[in-house]
Amino acid sequence: MKLTDKHLTRRGLLKAGAATSLVLAAPLHFVRGAWAQEKAIGTFPAGTSGSSVKYGFIVPQTGAYADEGADELRAYQLAVKHLNGGGGMLETMKPLSLKGNGVLGKKVEYVTGDTQTNPDAARQAAQRAIERDKVIMFSGGSSSAVAVAQQYLAQDKGVIFMDALTHSNDTTGKDRRRYGFRHFFNAYQSGIALGPILAERYGKDRRAFHLTADYTWGHTQYESIRDATEKQGWTTVNNIMTPLGAPDFSQYLTAAINSDADVLILNHYGKDMVNSLTQAVQFGMRDMQKNGRNIEVVVPLYSELMAKGAGDNIAGVLGTANFNEKLDDPGSAAFIKAFTDEYGFPPSQAAQTAYVQTLLYSNAVEQAGTFYPPEVIKALEGAEIEGIGPGKALYRAEDHQCFHDILVVEGKAPSDRQNQYDLLKIVKQVPREEVTYPADIPAFGGKDAQLGAYEPSA
Amino acid sequence: MTINSIFLMVLTGLQLGAIYALIALGLTLIFGTLGVVNFAHGALYLIAAYCAVFAAQSLGFGLAIVLVPIILFIFGIAMERGLIRFFYQRPHTDQILVTFGIAIVVEEVLKWMFGANNIPFALPSWGAGQVLFYGLGANVPAAIPGIRVPMPFLEGFAFFPAWRLLLIIVTAVTIFALFALLQFTRFGLVLRAGMRDPEMLRFLGVNVTIRFSILFGIGAMIAGIAGVFGGPVTQVSPTVGMALLVPSFLVVVIGGMGSMLGALVAALLLGMASSFTTGFAAAVGDPTAKMALTALQQIVVYLVAVVVLLIRPRGLFGKKGIFE
């Protein structure tokens, strides 16, 4: 075929243009009832025709975040148990459409997959769950690189993805997708919450040295904390990107010691954070003085599992968290009790977000009265829900970020701990209003960030 | 950049190099003598580090230092007798496959038993704290605890973690002891002869097999030493073995397969390269230069490898005919 054959003629272009504008002009409302025919999208209706539906829980079972993945899976199993038989947050959630008899009368089953903490493996596992098992929704992940990859897959396939652990701004920023929803908080919110407390504790004229994990999460975490602390009057002396999984951080710590910075900010997660914090303590940074003041160490994103790994070194170190097992609002209390009864130890924040996400999706289905994805998405968009954590949570329609109170936490000294799980104390519960920001700010992709279509083109 | 920062960067480079050297030493020893590419060497480090954590918690750190290398020595012999010896006559690719397989099994078993996250490995109280180096006429406040070492060229004073200095010393002693064993003892003499011509030695009635087995045990023992002294630095998690194996293998290749001196020089080279590019990246003021150096510090180890292998394809001290 000659190349010119492919070119559009002027007439062809006009025809195509006319057709497109006709399609665009047609009323594209998906208001329930008004749209009589629900088209086949993704695994709908094939995945919902039987007496049961399947969810896909794709979590890291191997790789660096396997412990987080294991805790997510426990929470998912608990959520399925409660969906089918009642209990847990089903007793506190408002407005509640779920009845504890499955979802829309169908028993909930699940399949699991392994992300290996690797975006490619995660996509393959999710694809298998969608194509082979016909899952109607999938959830999981413990890395923003994985979450972003899954969201794009969800949009392509027309199957809703409920993010679990992902803290990068990009997830609901430049990479936000119509078929992806995030309940977990993000790096920008960590900055808003942490900035004022850092200034209050350590003063307004501090000089910060950042070490940052070199991938999507680390980059947005660094930018968010840098902006938040500079707003408080701090100076950013330096930032060095460190490769993921580095066993030894001594060259970076030496660089920090050689600078005139008096605060070390570790934009690391998981093992990297445990290593860099432990080694900073070995380098004597917690006992050292610079500019006439004690050097302070800050870990913007904390998790219970990391705190456990870092042992005594977390004492007095500030950071933020999405959830803590000491929260006593009715929703958190019901979840913590159910989880502890089932497994014998309290849930991590990874477990909490996984559990809540499963319930939120299921409740939206029940409320919409259908598994048809565009309807479920609409039910989630703008939903305001109580009893799933402190205060009221809002799933913002513009970017699919869930807004709720978040926590500033501090590592406990070994002498203050009641038991082996008592590692963090809540310094402040930051209200939802304070950590809400406009959906189109530059840190979240600006005005160009789009969710995409309700109906995937495929 | 002050003389103090450069001094600290040199120490950091030495310490980074020390861990690479300790692991590379065992690798290159086993390759140089037995001709086996042991990709399970990182796994041996891993086993050592986990043993060390639990030995240190239950028996104290002092005993862990004695026990763990012995455990690894025995483990090494068992591994050689049980598996590796069947691969002496097989191609290097087979050896790599089987040892890499062992590495994966060990990693996953440890993950299954102890979880994927780090296990805290605290320093013993006698090894914690900083060593203070002070220059001529420095006014060191009496309140600062710890060991003090005069360093006339420094301005004022500088600190470096005591444990990391100990790691450098332990590495130096281990290298020297190994060198002495191979060079000045009858055991070493027989081994070196065995490397040249094992068949002839057998004709002469020397039991080469048992000596090869012991040698493999010694290689594992060095991984044991690395695990006890390196564990508190790198921390203990199932992935740390593989994370260290890659640069250590690079050290062996850059130094020249099987060359012990080469491994030592290459380890120092990589350690210094990491330390100085990071140091310069932090110190430089110009934004473009900073960006370039920040990117460079992440890949400098591999860049050194590329440059060295382009100029000397057999590595710094590689001999003709080995691994070709």
Give the one of A66, A259, A274 whose C-beta lies nearest to B282's C-beta. A259
Round to whole Å and give the CA distance between A399 and A173.
7
Using an 8 Å CB-CB cutoff, list chain A residues near B168: none
In chain A, positions 300-359, which contact chain B (CB-CB < 8 Å)? Answer: 305-306, 308-313
Q: What is the mean pLDDT of residues A25-39?
A: 51
A 204-223 residues with CB < 8 A to B: 214
Residue B135: is its pLDDT beyond 60? yes
pLDDT digits (tens, 9 = 90+) for B103-127: 999 999 998 899 888 888 889 989 8
Please write the tens of the pLDDT for every residue from A289-301.
Answer: 888 899 999 999 9
Residue B309 one-letter amino acid: L
Contact in structure between A328 and A429 (CB atoms under 8 Å): no
Dihedral sign (CA B170, B171, B174, B176): negative
Instruction: Tell me if residue A295 falls in helix, strand or coil.
Output: coil
Pairing of strands A52-59, A137-140: parallel
A37: which residues sit within 8 A by CB, 6+ positions away? none
3-state secondary structure B53-75: HHHHHHHCHHHHHHHHHHHHHHH
pLDDT tens sequence across B264-304: 999 999 999 999 999 998 888 888 888 888 889 889 999 99
Residue A273 — φ and ψ, nearest 5°?
-65, -45
Coil, strand or helix at A238: strand
B222 and B174 in contact (C-beta within 8 Å)? yes
Contacts of A254 in chain B (CB under 8 A): 8-9, 11-12, 275, 278-279
Model confidence pLDDT, tens digit, residues A142-174: 888 899 999 999 999 999 999 999 999 999 999
Collapse the DSSP code of A407 into the 3-class scheme (helix H, G, I; strand E, B; otherwise coil) and give the result.
Answer: strand
Considering only CB atoms, A240 lies closest to which of B4, B243, B294, namely B294
Four-point Cα dihedral A60, A61, A67, A70, nearest 10: 100
- Alpha-carbon gap: B210 to the closest alpha carbon of chain A (Å): 36
Measured distance CA(A16)–CA(A14) in Å, rounded: 5
The total number of residues shown for chain B amounts to 324
Q: What is the dihedral of CA A56, A62, A68, A69, to 10 degrees?
A: 10
Q: Which residues of A390-405 are buried (b: 16+ CB within 10 A; e: fewer)?
A: bbebbbeeebbbbbbb
Q: Which two tokens stand for residue A101?
A: 């008899």
Nearest residue of A to residue B163 by CA position? A282
Show residues of chain A in contact with B116, CB under 8 Å.
62-67
The per-residue b/e assignment along A56-70, b for 16 or more CB within 10 angstroms, e otherwise, is bbbbbbbbbbbbbbb
Q: What is the C-alpha separation between A156 and A336, in angstroms, rounded?
A: 36
Q: What percent of chain B has pLDDT over 70?
A: 98
Positive or negative torsion for Cα A360, A366, A369, A370: positive
Cα B235 to Cα A389: distance, rounded to the nearest angstrom: 35
3-class state of residue A215 by DSSP? coil
Residue type present at position A450: Q
d(CA B164, CA B128) in angstroms, rounded, equals: 10
Backbone angles phi, psi at A428, to 5 degrees: -155, 140
Enumerate domains of chain A plus CATH numbers.
Answer: 46-185+325-400 (3.40.50.2300), 188-321 (3.40.50.2300)
Could you tell me which residue, A87 or A292, shows the higher pLDDT? A87
pLDDT bracket for residue A37 (50, 70, 90): low
Distance from CA of A102 to the nearest CA of B (A): 33
The reported pLDDT for the residue numbered A31 is 43
**Among A283, A277, A213, A284, which Cα is nearest to A243's?**
A213
Residue B261: CB atoms within 10 A of its CB come to 14
User: What is the sign, positive or negative, of the torsion defined by CA atoms of A436, A439, A441, A444?
Assistant: positive
Phi, psi of A386 (to 5 degrees): -110, 160
For chain B, the domains span 3-241
Give CA–CA dist B279/A255, Å, rounded: 5
Least confident among A222-231, B55-64, B135-144, B210-219: B135-144
| pLDDT for A15 | 58
CA–CA gap between residue B267 and residue B181 (Å, rounded): 21
- pLDDT single digits (tens) A364-419: 999 999 999 999 999 999 999 999 999 999 999 999 999 999 999 999 998 899 88
User: Quick one: pLDDT at residue A28?
Assistant: 45
Instruction: Render pLDDT for B50-70 as a digit per residue (tens, 0 to 9).
Output: 999 999 999 999 999 999 999
Over residues A301-317, mean pLDDT? 88
List, in sequence order, every beta strand (DSSP E) within A223-348. 235-242, 263-267, 289-290, 293-294, 296-301, 318-321
Is A254 in contact with B16 (Cβ distance < 8 A)? no
Which residues in chain A are contacts of B11 at CB distance < 8 A? 254
- pLDDT tens digits, A200-214: 999 999 999 999 998
CB contact under 8 A, B116 and A251: no
